[in-house]
Structure 1
Amino acid sequence: MAQAITLAADAPTLSAANTGFMLICSALVMLMTPGLAFFYGGMVRVKSTLNMLMMSFISLGIVTILWVLYGFSVAFGDDKGSLVGWNSDWVGLSDIGLTELWDGYTIPVFVFLVFQLMFAVLTPALISGALADRVKFTAWALFVALWVTVVYFPVAHWVWGSGGWAFELGVIDFAGGTAVHINAGAAALGVILVIGKRIGFKKDPMRPHSLPLVMLGAGLLWFGWFGFNAGSWLGNDDGVGALMFVNTQVATGAAVVGWLAYEKIRHGAFTTLGAASGAVSGLVAITPAGGAVSPLGAIAIGIIAGVLCAMAVGLKYKLGYDDSLDVVGVHLVGGIIGSLLVGFFATGKGQSDVAGLFYGGGLDQFWKQCAGVFGVLAYSFVASAVLALLIHKTMGMRVSEDEEVAGIDQAEHAETAYDFSGAGGGAARTPASSPAVPAESKKVDA
């Protein structure tokens, strides 16, 4: 009887504090998708602004529905062969009790699933930045649906699901270095190698049309990332989430400094685009590592990521692949850096007692990190390229050459981001739909 009383006392009970905290974190992670939309939207030319916003926003719709129908079950259901999960009771989320707790934690299943939903929404949206200016919206929507089904849901199970091969191997990924950033970056590389370059790549100027919009997006991402990272511990009872919160800020600030220092030495100027991109590279790199390293380790990871990601974004010009908004250079490279550096900087005093090389732990954890990194990278790259090829060969992924040159916003959404018709300093423009406007005059490269 005494033993039964002890076991009952030790069983987790619903914590209103942790539940409220996780709901706030879920909202913060949701905000990251609109933040990403602004970040990407400011980086493209005027004629592609709305399309970039929509490529992120459609993920909020499609992935949410699929997560309810089967995504949560595939990602976090009972393990099937270390590759996928499945729990028929979770299909449609119809058999989950209001106060049913996530196993081993003090938050309801509903809270855990909505927090993880926001990760699932954000990840395919990250890919969209590599495809700016040239992808049909219907093809992109279909790709998102197929990609989360074939790639994201299974990979989330590998990394975070009980029984997933990376989880069981002991790969440390606190909040998504492999499952989110390497996954999205490798997918982006696979897709752009299939669909090809933008018209005018390396010839025409393709500068960001609104750097203030880029900075606003970066700020929203930075803000939301605190929920993304600190919330991934699923509670506040032992201080690990607080460590992750601190390391998120520290590494991001260090990455901004690292990127700008490299940029000044290499190109002679400190740019706002570099500051924004540096911040994102630091956020990406600390995501897998922040619960395992000290703030000093976070500084090192941030500076390394800032410098190496700044170097990596130039590879597209040398190697000839058109990664429009540097998804490969920032998310793939940043995710690899942060994931592998866990094997060197883990202190053994954070989320677990696993120590890295610099803290007397040898290279055991580093090799585990390598397995996780390159396993996810290879699968996502190949599967994403195959999905893109199937869509490209059937319905076609790219808009026509005329539509790409004239502007994908008008072609795909029948709108433009900015209405200059009422602006002073000149005659109002004739609406593009007017038959009085010659066809060639509509093709103004913004």
Structure 2
Amino acid sequence: MAPAITLAAEAPKLSAANTGFMLICSALVLIMTPGLAFFYGGMVRVKSTLNMLMMSFISMGIVTILWVLYGFSVAFGTDKGSLVGWTSDFVGFSGIGKMELWDGYTIPIYVFAVFQLMFAIITPALISGALADRVKFTAWSLFIALWATVVYFPVAHWVWGTGGWAFDLGVIDFAGGTAVHINAGAAALGVILVIGKRVGFKKDPMRPHSLPLVMLGCGLLWFGWFGFNAGSWLGNDDGVGALMFVNTQIATAAAMLAWLAYEKIRHGAFTTLGAASGAVAGLVAITPSGGAVSPLGAIAVGAIAGVLCAMAVGLKYRFNYDDSLDVVGVHLVGGVIGSLLIGFFASGGGQSDVKGLFYGGGLDQFWKQCAGVFAVLGYSLVASAILAFLIDKTIGMRVTEDEEIAGIDQAEHAETAYDFSGAGGGAARTAVPTPVADAQTKKVDA
């Protein structure tokens, strides 16, 4: 009998289907940043609307350039000590061939790089919601550049880069529970502890000025999140991306309903702001866990996140920190919940054979998740607070009290979101004369 011949594994080949799918997912993730801008922009007062929009939009400019220059290399280059990466060919995208495939996958490096760029863009934008009404635009822009460099790029390597310590430990984070949401939420807490509260916090009414804008932003986030989550498998040859897509919808629905139910019991009403916030809480929680849990598990993850995040948004009043738009309560808490629940609900039938406690896997995965969660939380919190402190002591982080009271839009952008100066004026000037109007006119003339 002739000896058996062992064939070497075939090198991956470019998949037009996966490449097209990932380009679409990249565009979906990008649209989440304008969606976030609308979501946050509707939640602030009129006088801060444009500033809130710009705090998200500027991230698209700054982070894109940094990502090309060195960010992609730090996050996904060859591992250096399990903390950062570096590949000189990735610097400036100078050594990347247009048909060169990403490591072991069927998509070009360019496609993977641009997909991950969209994650890098939205993560610092998430922080901005905690800082509404009071941060100089120049200081915020500098903070984005420094924070992306010192915090986001290294943490992305820890979690997703080959050789990163969390990756090697086996921490599961399908699409960004730690690297995106815990990272941004902890950073938000660190910065607001440094810069302090808004003028009138807990005294003046600070209600959302446009709930329709909030709902529009939520809808764009929900829509784009399918690319954010399902795209993170970098293809769908084995059905895991499809599972993540389905679980994203399920968990979001469950969280919205759970938040509304809690709100009705606690406050007596179903609010539109609660519906939008609950949906975002579900999206956050399923982001790390959706590839590891079953659809029934996704319902549990979403429902738990909806209730706990609804409870958490009130912590700022108890502990007296001014998280303007509940970034800590939704993104930090939601990210922690979604990441830790993997240790209980991982079914072993999704992205890996890892099973959580409720599926007979014990607590091994739970402890791994704890390591990833609290390492990222602690590092981001401390590093972000230090960066904010240094900026505050050099160029200053906050606008003046007078500028904050008058409105940061006018102070920082020389614009206002809405022009009310002509509202009703045209109608008044062209109104048909009436006896009452004629009498008033004659009285004034006299």
The alignment's TM-score, normalised by the length of structure 1, stands at 0.94
Amino acid of the structure 2 residue aligned with 1:292:
A
The CA distance in 2 between the partners of 1:308 and 1:378, in whole Å, is: 21
- Give the distance between the partners of 2:341 and 2:269, measured in 1 at CA: 29
Q: What's 1:6 paired with?
A: 7
Alignment of 1:138-287 (within 5 A): 138-287=138-287
* Aligned residue in 2 for 1:120: 120
1:40-439 superposed matches below 5 A: 40-424=40-424
1:30 pairs with 2:41:
no
Q: Which amino acid aligns with 2:148?
A: V
Q: Deviations over 1:366-387 (max 9, x none)?
A: 0000000000000000000000
* 1:3 CA drift (Å): 9.7
Over aligned residues, Cα RMSD in angstroms?
Answer: 1.3
Alpha-carbon distance in structure 1 between the residues aligned to 2:210 and 2:288: 31
Give how far 1:89 is off.
1.0
Query: How far apart, CA to CA, are the structure 2 residues paired with 1:377 and 1:3?
Result: 53
Spell out the pairing of 1:11-22 with structure 2 (5 A cutoff): 11-22=11-22
Deviation at 1:277, TM superposition (A): 0.2
Residues 270-309 of structure 1 show CA distances to partners (whole Å, capped at 9, x for unaligned) of: 0000000000000000000000000000000000000000
Distance across 1 between alignment mates of 2:5 and 2:100: 21
Q: Which amino acid aligns with 1:162?
A: T
Q: Which runs of 5+ in 2 are unaligned?
A: 429-446
Q: How many angstroms apart in 2 are the aligned matches of 1:280 and 1:71?
A: 27
Q: 2:438 maps to what in 1?
A: none
CA distance in 1, matches of 2:386, 2:32: 28
SS in 2 for 1:186: helix
Q: 2:403 and 2:105 mapped to 1: Cα distance?
A: 52
Q: Distance in 2 between matches of 1:316 and 1:61?
A: 31
Is the partner of 2:79 in helix, strand or coil?
Answer: strand
Task: Give the distance between the partners of 1:128 and 1:39, measured in 2 at CA.
Answer: 12
Aligned residues: 426
What CA distance in whole angstroms lies between the structure 2 residues aligned with 1:322 and 1:214?
20
- Alpha-carbon distance between aligned partners in 2 of 1:128 and 1:287, rounded to the nearest angstrom: 20
Q: Distance in 2 between matches of 1:3 and 1:103?
A: 30
Q: Which amino acid aligns with 1:400?
A: T
* Structure with larger Rg: 2
- Following superposition, the deviation at residue 7 of structure 1 comes to 2.5
Q: Residue in 2 aligned with 1:443?
A: none
The residue identity in structure 2 corresponding to 1:380 is S
Which amino acid in the other structure matches residue 334 of structure 1?
G
Evaluate the alpha carbon distance shift between residue 30 and residue 210 of structure 1 in structure 2; reply closer, same or farther with a 3 A threshold.
same
Q: C-alpha separation between the residues in 1 aligned to 2:104 and 2:89?
A: 19
Structure 1 SS opposite 2:96: coil
Cα distance per residue 1:384-411 (max 9 Å; x no partner)? 0000000001100000000000000000
Distance (Å, rounded) in 2 between the aligned partners of 1:380 and 1:52: 22
User: Where do 4+ consecutive residues of structure 1 move more than 3 Å?
Assistant: 2-6, 425-428
Secondary structure of 1:348 counterpart? coil
How far, CA to CA, are the matches of 1:322 and 1:4 in structure 2?
A: 67
Report what 1:440 is aligned to.
none
The one-letter code of the counterpart of 1:395 is I
Alignment partner of 2:7: what SS? helix
Distance in 2 separating the partners of 1:294 and 1:139? 44
